[in-house]
Structure 1
């Protein structure tokens, strides 16, 4: 393994390189927090949006699906550019764009205007999401990647919780418009800071042979034959379908079928998600590195077991009516699911050549959303209109179960790639 500095500057001392790496990790993690805060504000503000625009559940689900469709289609382009230009430029420009679009969502006076604003959020997030993990993989050596990527992905539950809590409180106390105004502000500051992040050499932590450029068609052919990548993407997609649909509809389920006020539903959902996500992501990073040292694909195998255990808990949670036991079960299910954040993404960046990582991440994003949470909010909304929201949510246990089996297969086939 290479011992080159994190920022690939020969005269930099190791402590300076480490500080630069952790500074970039901090900025990228804060951006990821704001990323998910902006995504989840809309879910808890949804009952107010439905009331203002007179939307049924199917139409409301389209609001989530349209954002994801734009995001996933733009992600491979973001990854393609991220393998060829300075990635910090894509990060900074993407953050500023989606933050402005989040604020613009609060100005929407029609459902169509709101859909356009959310589409712009998706474009901005695509410029960031595909390249951030590849930057981190070039700042830290392989044996630390699962842990540092877990720190990066801690921002998902914390950002989701902040979106739930902030969106619920501002929508209840002021209006759903104010929730979007406030949610868009932090990203403008972080976008400016991203311009000054270190830009590491591609493959800087994988040895000199890994820093060679890779023709796009050659990389694409190699990725097409990379069975562990596709099994990992399959498992990740099935999980994303279920979790994306649940996250979009959980606050509405608590309001409409459990009788909670929107602010209380947002607070409870956010608190449980934040705690379970924080503990699960940290535990997954530590266990994933430990399992990877014991066997090839150890982190993926652990992730598969986590999903297999989470599936029956997801089904059971909706069956329980008492809030305390219901949220306890949701906590356990989310803990087991968030074990996967670091290991899955570390497996993707470790399993493809460094010069092709951003595109591979972008392609992964395309598939997990195209066949995952791009369709699950609308599908669950449609099923809820035909039966009930509770029954529609129960069925989410099936793709989680299948996703666990796919990750076990990915772990069995996985081998590290260094060039």
Structure 2
């Protein structure tokens, strides 16, 4: 199978990965009205997904580096699709919470494997761009989730919204099982397959670890804003549920796509000038995001807030490709699924497994505006972690070795 065909299969799976994940947030007010739940309970629907997602990732990461990965990709897609569809049949809050947990299992299995699997199909000097293109599914899928959820929810109710987005993953999962082939797995005999001890070795990889911490801070903010901004628009900009989801979806797909595209291309261009191109792009995006997001929150003028939010969304999506490419660079080929699994566990344990529920809890106490402002400030320590990752990468010469050979593990 050629790399381009593989890319499109994985991209479409990733697109529905985010559609199915994000459709929930545009129908928050409708679920709250029908099921009579608090803001904290709404936030917990997002948090339970992430808790399961992050805990499952290290398990699937270990087995994926030991067995053909296409079967894990296919099974994961069909599982999360079924759970999304069945969310529309939830009879109460507990059953909806359970369905969200199973979506976490399916999507955790896919995300852990897909990025390193795709990166192996391309040369190193193109990986940030390719992974950025792959990551375009995040803003596109998130926006489509908001838009479909808003439109279907307003027309037919929140249950139909889940059913509409849940079905396509089955066909894509079957296609992946048939078309995707794991060539790397055939090259490893049992003696070369990694063991669980590799997770402990990743803890000793300081650049990798600090990059994971920085990624966690970005994930905290992105997850918190994804969960609550449609509701924020509804409350403070006096938009209807459908309009709020549509407007925020438009901001995400335009700003997110622009930021993701620019971030990947910029990182690969800077790579010709410095080994620390990935870190430079990530740090710049963190530093610039805070004032733009803060201005949007503090302003009482809706047009100005929407413009600054658009710039902020563009900036927070800028590092998606560079972060993934840097994670590939700082881990070995034989353990990349485990490395990404470790990263997934850490970024969600410290990031968006917490932020939706914490923002909901803080919103119940002091209001949603203050809660969102506190969320934005989390990128301050994120910038420090990026600096430390770059510092240790230079001191240990990891990126120099990466560009001198195919991976550090070989």
| Alignment match, 1:347 | 326
Alignment partner of 2:367 out of 388, 395, 415 = 388
**Structure 1 segments (4+ residues) deviating >4 Å:** none
Taking a change above 3 Å as real, the CA distance of residues 324 and 188 of structure 1, as seen in their structure-2 partners, is same
| Cα distance, 1:217 vs structure 2 | 4.8
| Alignment match, 1:139 | 121
Aligned residues: 397
Q: What is the alpha-carbon distance in structure 1 between the residues aligned to residue 47 and residue 289 of structure 2?
A: 24
Map Cα deviations across residues 310-333 of structure 1 (whole Å, 9 max, x no partner): 012122211122222111101111
Please give the secondary structure, in 2, of the residue aligned with 1:202: helix
CA contact (8 A) 2:267 2:277 kept: yes
1:199 aligned onto 2:181: yes
| Alignment match, 1:108 | 90
CA contact (8 A) 2:75 2:173 kept: yes
Q: What is the alpha-carbon distance in structure 1 between the residues aligned to residue 369 and residue 151 of structure 2?
A: 24
| Alignment match, 2:342 | 363
| Alignment match, 2:78 | 96
Map Cα deviations across residues 99-140 of structure 1 (whole Å, 9 max, x no partner): 010000000010000001111100011110100012112211
| Cα distance, 1:294 vs structure 2 | 1.9
Q: What is the alpha-carbon distance in structure 1 between the residues aligned to residue 129 and residue 392 of structure 2?
A: 22
Map Cα deviations across residues 344-385 of structure 1 (whole Å, 9 max, x no partner): 011111211101000110110001011111111111111111
Provide the TM-score with structure 2 as the length reference: 0.93
| Alignment match, 1:239 | 218
| Cα distance, 1:257 vs structure 2 | 2.5
| Alignment match, 2:108 | 126
| Alignment match, 1:172 | 154
Alignment partner of 1:265 out of 244, 260, 273 = 244
Map Cα deviations across residues 232-264 of structure 1 (whole Å, 9 max, x no partner): 101000111111111101111111222111111
Q: What is the alpha-carbon distance in structure 2 between the residues aligned to residue 31 and residue 214 of structure 1?
A: 27
CA contact (8 A) 1:91 1:191 kept: yes
Provide the TM-score with structure 1 as the length reference: 0.91
1:68 aligned onto 2:50: yes
| Alignment match, 2:19 | 37
| Cα distance, 1:218 vs structure 2 | 5.2
| Cα distance, 1:221 vs structure 2 | 4.1
Q: What is the alpha-carbon distance in structure 2 between the residues aligned to residue 260 and residue 271 of structure 1?
A: 14
| Alignment match, 1:301 | 280
CA contact (8 A) 1:308 1:405 kept: no
Please give the secondary structure, in 1, of the residue aligned with 2:271: helix
Query: RMSD between aligned alpha carbons?
Result: 1.8
| Alignment match, 1:250 | 229
Q: What is the alpha-carbon distance in structure 2 between the residues aligned to residue 218 and residue 296 of structure 1?
A: 29
CA contact (8 A) 1:138 1:200 kept: no
Structure 2 gaps of 5+ residues are none
Q: What is the alpha-carbon distance in structure 2 between the residues aligned to residue 68 and residue 217 of structure 1?
A: 23
Please give the secondary structure, in 2, of the residue aligned with 1:145: helix
1:317 aligned onto 2:266: no
Q: What is the alpha-carbon distance in structure 1 between the residues aligned to residue 283 and residue 185 of structure 2?
A: 28
Alignment partner of 2:166 out of 184, 199, 202 = 184
CA contact (8 A) 1:154 1:282 kept: yes
Map Cα deviations across residues 176-234 of structure 1 (whole Å, 9 max, x no partner): 00000001011111111111233243399xxx99x993542553343122111111101
Taking a change above 3 Å as real, the CA distance of residues 221 and 388 of structure 1, as seen in their structure-2 partners, is closer
CA contact (8 A) 2:67 2:185 kept: no
| Cα distance, 1:401 vs structure 2 | 2.2
| Cα distance, 1:56 vs structure 2 | 0.9
Please give the secondary structure, in 2, of the residue aligned with 1:396: helix
CA contact (8 A) 2:65 2:194 kept: no
Structure 1 gaps of 5+ residues are 1-16
Alignment partner of 2:31 out of 49, 54, 63 = 49
